[in-house]
Amino acid sequence: MDVKLIEYISKISKSKILYKSKVTNIDRLLEKTIVKIIPKKVTPNQFTIFRFITIPILIVLLLFENYKIGIVLFVISGFSDVIDGALARTRNKITTWGALYDPIADKLLIGSISIMLVFKLISPYLGVSIVITETIIILLTLYSFKGEMPPVKVFGKMKGVAYSIGIFLLMLYSIKKIELLLYTSKIFVYLGLSFAILSPTLYLKELKEKSHKEASSAGVRRIKAILE
């Protein structure tokens, strides 16, 4: 077997171990309720693929201002993110593909709906800011951590929750036209943007630490080679 291939497999295996997170109380609750009725053959990655599929459908629904069906699909799509995480952790089905593309699906979902709703109902500048920050995070995930599990940070999780609540309230406002819904949605969207701005700094810090470790390891190998 090729040496590089062996090194790559070893790299992926180690990153899987590092990525595994502790099963939370919410995971346990879901395991005893919803996850319990999900067939064993269903994988977390299938939920991620489902979210990718819902994105263009949601865009079409919002284009035609069908907010009632749109809000239902958005809730289902968002809840699938909670389910696939619990499913992966409680059934030990965490994969490299899922760790990489699950957050990308979330970012594309939030980014596309932000273009549709935040531009229209809050501010074009805010919509552009959301799209730019999400694009930066996606690029960092794809290129900075290629071949490895991307780091999962608390700001990223809090950002996702804030955006989801904000967008849900925006959709609800589009149906009910209650000003309090619009005002509250603005708070959550701006809060989400604040967390999103902090996320890239943590990615860059992680990348800097990773580069430093690699440089140190390379130095140690060179010293060993000289001594040998």
81 pLDDT band, cuts 50/70/90, is confident
- Residue 6's pLDDT is 44
pLDDT for res 30:
85
Q: What is the C-alpha separation between 228 and 225, in angstroms, rounded?
A: 5
Domains and CATH numbers, the chain: 3-227 (1.20.120.1760)
Q: Each residue of 30-40: pLDDT tens digit?
A: 888 888 899 98
Mean pLDDT of 71-93: 89
Triad 135, 136, 142: Cα angle to 5°: 90
For residue 89, pLDDT over 60 is answered with yes
Average pLDDT over residues 124-148: 75
- What is the distance between the alpha carbons of residues 224 and 228, in angstroms, rounded to a whole number? 6
Of 63, 146, 69, which is closest to residue 112 (Cα–Cα)?
A: 63
Cβ pair 107, 159 in contact under 8 A: no
pLDDT at residue 186, rounded to an integer: 94
Range 209-215 average pLDDT: 59
Say if CB 109 and CB 54 are below 8 A apart.
yes
| pLDDT on residue 209 | 63
Residue 222 Ramachandran class (φ > 0 left, ψ -120 to 50 alpha, else beta)? alpha
Lowest mean pLDDT among 66-70, 78-82, 100-104, 208-212: 208-212
